[in-house]
Amino acid sequence: MDITRRGRLAGAALLTAGIVAAALTGCSGSNSGSSGSAGGTYTFWDPYPQYDASSAWAKVIDQCGSSAGVKIKRTGYDTSDLTNKALLAGQQSNSPDILLVDNPVVSTLASAGILTTTAENKLDAGDVSKNILGAGVIDGKTYGVPIGANTLALYYNPKVLQAAGVDISSVKDWASLTDALAKVVASGHKGITFSGINTEEGSFQFLPWFWGAGADLTNLDSDKAVAALTLWTDWIKKGYAPNSVIQNTQTTSWQEMQTGDFAFSENGTWQKADAAKNGFQVIPLPAENGGSAPAPTGGEFLTIPVQKDSARYATSAKIVACLTSTKNVVNTDNTLNYIGATSAVQEKQLAGDPTLKPWIDAVQVAKARTGDNLGTKYPKISEQLWTAMQKAESGSASPADALKAAQTAAAAATK
């Protein structure tokens, strides 16, 4: 999920009881939809306020409305604002017909009783990759379909690696990556930059290492979790990663990479155009013992909220099916910067742009943050995870002690 370009992930981190309370005191959007018959107006809310009526995204929405025989009234909101408005509109039985939300938000809205299931609205999610669909599955029920996904990988600067005598093909696991960092620093360059900040961005960037060690979010203080956090803290202690990572967002981390002095940067799909301009290349993030580490999926889900007139669902489902068709996803992938959620879309994207292969590979092994039926427990666990990261990165606690405290707090918060 692109979190720095549109600020969506930071909003997802706030999906706790506090944000629900805030939503109940917020302002409502109006649903100007008419009856479920053809020729009416259907309301559509998304988290893309930066795209106006002339954008490729807005045009494909209009086209899908026309194909369904209706007009679409689209409104774009910032992510956190969208979540608040969606919660309030649901409370008032005034939800939009179609709601596009960041994938961790799906469980929050579903738990609030705002969304219909695919069994109710007849959306077909059969071809969607299970690891991407996982963010929308709660207690065995599916609450929407993804329009696409993005995730994290490891960008590298070939010039810096060449100067340090590092062959990128040698980087296969944590040990070989650490060896490469040692050579880079010894050559007078800088090693790796990432976002280790105490927000959801920090957790988002730590999860590939956490999951790559085989750790589980329900057991934050496992030996595997400690190994992952120790990797980061050792890099900082040895000077392989700068102290700035403690407060780096993904944006500031990328700005460090843009100086041209760093060998590696953990970042997302949304940086691929800028990376190409700078001559940077990309490989999947390595797991501890080799292979690709599961990175968290980003991206949005198209959902159909509960309506007083259930006859509207059929037309809403037609619009969603149109928006998620292979043709339309491929036509907007340069706008939304997503990898498709189905193998058919991914194959089409790869045929048009072979440089997407590392990203498609990364998305294929990615995991939903709210997956494993964590749902609304995830934000509470994540908060304790990023708190532990900060303690360990700053040296105020050892990785083991920081994660032990995090597990105790997370267990209490998710009872």
- Looking at the structure, tell me whether residues 393 and 268 fall in a common domain: yes
- Looking at the structure, tell me whether residues 33 and 135 fall in a common domain: yes
Percent of the chain surpassing pLDDT 90: 86
b (16+ CB within 10 A) / e for 37-65 = eeebebbbbbbbeebeeeeebbebbeebb
| The pLDDT value given to residue 331 | 83
Residue 2, domain member (yes or no): no
* H helix or E strand, kind and range, residue 327: helix 326-331
Average pLDDT over residues 114-137: 95
- Looking at the structure, tell me whether residues 243 and 116 fall in a common domain: no
| The pLDDT value given to residue 12 | 36
Residue 110, domain member (yes or no): yes
Length of the chain: 415
Average pLDDT over residues 317-337: 88
Q: For residue range 265-298, list pLDDT tens digits in order.
A: 999 999 999 999 999 999 999 999 999 999 999 9
Two tokens, residue 318: 């037609």
> How many angstroms separate the CA atoms of 162 and 185, rounded?
13
Rounded alpha-carbon distances, angstroms, from residue 410 to 181, 199, 219, 354, 406: 33, 15, 9, 42, 6
pTM for this structure? 0.85
- Looking at the structure, tell me whether residues 34 and 105 fall in a common domain: yes
Q: For residue range 61-92, list pLDDT tens digits in order.
A: 999 999 999 999 999 998 889 999 999 999 99
176: Cβ–Cβ under 8 A, 6 or more apart, which residues?
170, 286
332 pLDDT band, cuts 50/70/90, is confident
Q: What is the CATH number of the domain that holds 98?
A: 3.40.190.10
- Looking at the structure, tell me whether residues 143 and 39 fall in a common domain: yes
Report helix, strand or coil for 215: coil
- C-alpha closest to that of 117 among 376, 300, 323, 305: 305
- Beta-bridged to residue 128, according to DSSP, are 342
Region of 395 (left: φ > 0; alpha: ψ -120 to 50; beta: rest) is left
Determine contact, residues 157/257, Cβ cutoff 8 Å.
yes
Residue 168, domain member (yes or no): yes
| The pLDDT value given to residue 80 | 80
pLDDT at 336 over 90: no
The gap between the terminal CA atoms of the chain, to the nearest Å, is 28
Q: Domain of residue 226: give its range.
A: 152-295+375-413
Q: For residue range 179-208, list pLDDT tens digits in order.
A: 999 999 999 999 999 999 999 999 999 999
- Looking at the structure, tell me whether residues 281 and 302 fall in a common domain: no
pLDDT at 215 over 70: yes
Residue 251, domain member (yes or no): yes
The mean-pLDDT minimum among 155-159, 221-225, 375-379 falls in: 375-379
> How many angstroms separate the CA atoms of 85 and 78, rounded?
10
| The pLDDT value given to residue 35 | 46
- Looking at the structure, tell me whether residues 303 and 332 fall in a common domain: yes
| The pLDDT value given to residue 385 | 98
| The pLDDT value given to residue 38 | 55
- Looking at the structure, tell me whether residues 12 and 102 fall in a common domain: yes
- Looking at the structure, tell me whether residues 316 and 278 fall in a common domain: no
Q: Domain tally for the chain?
A: 2
| The pLDDT value given to residue 17 | 35
| The pLDDT value given to residue 167 | 98
- Looking at the structure, tell me whether residues 175 and 92 fall in a common domain: no
Residue 133, domain member (yes or no): yes
pLDDT at 377 over 80: yes
- Looking at the structure, tell me whether residues 43 and 135 fall in a common domain: yes
Average pLDDT over residues 226-240: 98
- Looking at the structure, tell me whether residues 285 and 201 fall in a common domain: yes
Average pLDDT over residues 379-394: 97
303 pLDDT band, cuts 50/70/90, is very high
- Mean pLDDT (the chain, rounded): 90
pLDDT at 30 over 80: no
Q: For residue range 353-372, list pLDDT tens digits in order.
A: 999 999 999 999 999 999 98
Average pLDDT over residues 44-67: 95
Determine contact, residues 83/96, Cβ cutoff 8 Å.
no
